[in-house]
């Protein structure tokens, strides 16, 4: 057993030397996945005070509790921003003028504004789901709100050109909710994802206000243009725009950076769209003929054939 273990170690060490690109040895620490996960949980506590706590928060203790959470987030986020910027600078050689502390403070200063927007998302869920009994139920139980809240906060960091952390945040939410929204996506107010599992929203999507998506919707890229060397071209518009008051039903796929879904349109289930849709449109698949058989008669006929 000991000799076999020694061989495994030796083979791995050889692999580390021969297989490049997926090693990180003799280098500074990377952004910490556990730390970013903790950040997400603390940020949710900050934007929805009292909902994620074990014990109730009393009004007289609110300032103290909020101050403690903000201090913890600043400490952790500054550290992770520093790691992220250092890692990114290894490739780009870009030097940021703002310190990690300043960037973390700029991010946190946006939270009061984001809370106002998140209130509209809760309203959209309450108005858009007849099963919703209260705002409390939505905040406590609806995975879409958790995914949207994290994406909206990650989008602020993304807009500050902070690398790695925004995507780590949205992937944390993705792993918990099954909803994959890239931090680069721009999303208006009153956004609701009903059920949510399997929804994908790409980096360059622009989504208006009062938009409702159902489970399994993909707002994706039509293709990946490549440069003369065959490498994917980065930083171009790849994903569709969805204008105000659009509803997109389950399983619909909408692709392409030039594709626009016009305001007040409804996209039916399982539609596949790669071209723009005018305002006030209804897109539905043609009616499919179903073959319906009586199971009892079918079983009896099979029994007669066998006999």
Domain boundary among 135, 155, 178: 178
Instruction: Note whether residue 29 is domain-resident.
Output: yes
Domain shared by 92 and 30, yes or no: yes
Domain shared by 58 and 150, yes or no: yes
Rounded Cα gap, residues 216 and 277, in angstroms: 20
For residue 90, the model assigns a pLDDT of 61
Q: Report the number of distinct structural domains present in the chain.
A: 2
Q: Collect the ranges in the chain with pLDDT lower than 70.
A: 26-28, 90-95, 306-307
Domain shared by 33 and 166, yes or no: yes
Exposed e or buried b for every residue in 216-231, given b needs 16+ CB within 10 A? bbbbbbbeeeeeeeee
Instruction: Note whether residue 1 is domain-resident.
Output: no
Domain boundary among 155, 178, 201: 178
Instruction: Note whether residue 3 is domain-resident.
Output: no
Domain shared by 194 and 282, yes or no: yes
Tell me the pTM: 0.88
Between helix 62-92 and helix 165-177 the angle, nearest 10°, is: 120
Domain shared by 83 and 211, yes or no: no
Domain shared by 37 and 75, yes or no: yes
DSSP codes of every residue in 149-176:
HHHHHHHHHHHTT--SHHHHHHHHHHHH
Rounded Cα gap, residues 173 and 168, in angstroms: 9
Q: Which run of H or of E encompasses 143?
A: helix 143-159
Report the CATH number that the domain containing residue 223 is assigned in CATH: 2.160.10.10
For residue 93, the model assigns a pLDDT of 58
For residue 119, the model assigns a pLDDT of 97
Domain shared by 192 and 301, yes or no: yes
Instruction: Note whether residue 5 is domain-resident.
Output: no
Domain shared by 261 and 284, yes or no: yes
Domain shared by 160 and 300, yes or no: no
Q: How many residues in the chain?
A: 307
Domain shared by 28 and 174, yes or no: yes
Domain shared by 300 and 191, yes or no: yes
Domain shared by 237 and 189, yes or no: yes
* Structural domain boundaries, residue 293: 185-307
For residue 23, the model assigns a pLDDT of 80
Chain segment 232-277, per-residue pLDDT in tens: 788 899 999 999 999 999 999 999 999 999 999 999 999 999 999 9
26 three-state secondary structure = coil
Alpha-helix runs per DSSP H in 93-142: 100-108, 111-128, 135-141
The count of other CB atoms within 10 Å of the CB of residue 132 is 16
Domain boundary among 151, 178, 205: 178
Instruction: Note whether residue 35 is domain-resident.
Output: yes
Instruction: Note whether residue 222 is domain-resident.
Output: yes
């Amino acid at each position: 057993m000991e000799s076999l273990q020694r061989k495994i170690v030796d083979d791995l060490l050889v692999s580390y030397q021969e297989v490049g690109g997926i090693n990180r040895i003799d280098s500074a620490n990377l952004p910490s996945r556990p730390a970013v996960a903790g950040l997400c949980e603390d940020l949710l506590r900050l934007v929805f005070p009292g909902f994620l706590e074990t014990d109730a928060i009393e009004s007289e203790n609110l300032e103290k509790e909020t101050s403690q959470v903000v201090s913890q987030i600043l400490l952790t986020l500054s550290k992770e921003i520093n790691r992220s910027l250092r890692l990114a600078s290894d490739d780009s050689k870009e030097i940021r003028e703002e310190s990690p502390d300043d960037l973390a403070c700029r991010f946190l200063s946006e939270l009061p504004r984001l809370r106002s927007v998140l209130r509209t998302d809760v309203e959209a869920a309450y108005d858009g789901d007849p099963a919703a009994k209260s705002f409390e139920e939505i905040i406590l139980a609806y995975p879409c709100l958790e995914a949207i809240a994290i994406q909206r906060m990650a989008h602020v960091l993304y807009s500050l050109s902070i690398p790695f952390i925004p995507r780590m945040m949205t992937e944390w939410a993705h792993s918990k909710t099954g909803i994959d929204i890239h931090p680069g996506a721009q999303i208006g107010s009153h956004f609701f994802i009903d059920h949510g599992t399997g929804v994908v929203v790409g980096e360059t999507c622009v989504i208006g206000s009062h938009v409702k998506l159902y489970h399994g919707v993909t707002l994706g890229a039509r293709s990946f243009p490549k440069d003369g060397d065959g490498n994917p071209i980065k930083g171009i518009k790849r994903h569709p725009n969805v204008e105000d008051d659009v509803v997109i039903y389950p399983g619909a796929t909408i692709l392409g950076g030039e594709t626009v879904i016009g305001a007040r349109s409804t996209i039916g289930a399982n539609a596949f769209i790669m071209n723009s849709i005018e305002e006030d449109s209804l897109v539905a698949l043609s009616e499919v003929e179903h073959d319906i058989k009586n199971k009892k008669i079918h079983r009896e006929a099979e029994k007669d054939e066998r006999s």
